[in-house]
Structure 1
Amino acid sequence: MSAVKPSGIHHAAYRCKDAKETVEWYGRVLGMEYTTAFAEDHVPSTGEYDPYMHVFLDAGNGNILAFFELPKQPDMGRDENTPQWVQHLAFRVGSEEELLAAKKHIEGEGIDVLGPTHHGIFRSIYFFDPSGHRVELAADIGTDEQYAELERVAPLMLDEWSKTKKAPRHADWLHEIARQEREES
């Protein structure tokens, strides 16, 4: 018997502080269309009383981003044991030009933007949504050969990491590309 093979992500769901503010922000800042909402007083899977608003946004290419507003739960927080840069929502943009245009637009909305950051095979910008979720926009810039090499060394890197818990050196060339570009800028 084979393992389950999903055909894609149906939706990814996160908590938000305010459903209306979230829908408006993602529409205004990232151009996402608000498509669907569910609201219940009882959780369908457990039956427990916990009123919620569940909103769905079209993130493009059949990808759906969803949020829950939970007014009866304690105020929303974050995992204080995990650095803010770790947990984030990353969205692809079509080019470096689109990335730079997005940065200008987002900063025009009064939002602080970090980057662009060069990752060797993609460039990214980072900012926070109204609920405190870190958001990344990324533009792929790598070559087919670079992506193939990263796929080839991925198992080697994971094996070495699991033994040493130190950054494997199999993809140092990637960091060198980013370093050289920073020096040229």
Structure 2
Amino acid sequence: MADHPVKLGGVHHAAYRCKDAKETVEWYGRVLGMDYTTAFAEDHVPSTGEYDPYMHVFLDAGNGNILAFFELPNQKDMGRDENTPAWVQHLAFKVGSEEELLAAKKHIEAQGIDVLGPTHHGIFKSIYFFDPNGHRVELAADIGTEEQYAELKRVAPMMLDEWSETKTAPKHADWLHKIAREAHGLEDTSA
């Protein structure tokens, strides 16, 4: 899509809602080492003019990526989409290695936070936990080879087409699932 008229330069920031801006900033700093960089606070929403006081905080997630949160005290209590499983919507951050992933798990558990994993996904391993707002957070360490990533990119269009037609898991990258199943000590059910 080199000739596409929209030229993106990356994600400026991703914004989520929080229950308490101060608690959220402190938690992400203590648990994940994120620097608190910026805040905006308004009584009126700049894009709509609507009266709705808010605090908008920004945290540095590394490598030019910014995670932001809104505290909205005049809105109904925060909820989540009850029709979507809790494991689906999440924030995923990259760590540099499997060793860093395991060190992060140890640190996070020492904070009194329950951590699930590591989970082996074939080309990366992840741990999962929840922030004080109920957002699921994932830390992931890439472990795949260049060849594996290239093959996944090659089969992606075919997988999407098959999924669109059948709504069942396509088998174009079954080798990836076999790696993950074997890592978890599960029986190979692909035959």
Give the alignment's TM-score, normalised by structure 1.
Answer: 0.98
- Report the equivalent of 2:161: 159
- Any gaps of 5 or more consecutive residues in structure 2? 187-191
Partner of residue 35, structure 2:
33
SS for the counterpart of 2:62 is coil
Q: CA deviation at 1:116?
A: 0.3
Which residue in the other structure is 1:178 paired with? Answer: 180
Identity %: 85
Amino acid at match of 1:40: E
The aligned residue for residue 105 of structure 1 is 107
State the shift of 1:152 in Å: 0.3
Match of 2:76 among 69, 74, 77: 74
1:22 counterpart (11, 21, 24): 24
The number of residue pairs the alignment matches comes to: 184
Residue 104 of structure 1 deviates from its aligned partner by 0.4
Following the alignment from structure 2 to structure 1, what is the Cα–Cα distance between the partners of residues 121 and 137?
16
Aligned with 1:59: secondary structure? strand
Deviations 1:15-56 (A, max 9, x none): 000000000000000000000000000000000100000000
Kindly report structure 1 stretches of 4+ aligned residues shifted beyond 4 Å.
none
> In structure 1, how many angstroms separate the alpha carbons of the residues matched to 2:10 and 2:175?
31
Partner of 2:189: none
Q: CA RMSD in A?
A: 1.1
1:85 corresponds, among 80, 84, 87, to: 87
The residue number in structure 2 matching 1:116 is 118
Counterpart Cα distance in 2 of 1:8 and 1:175:
30
Note the C-alpha offset of 1:180.
1.6
Change (3 A) 1:75 1:172: same
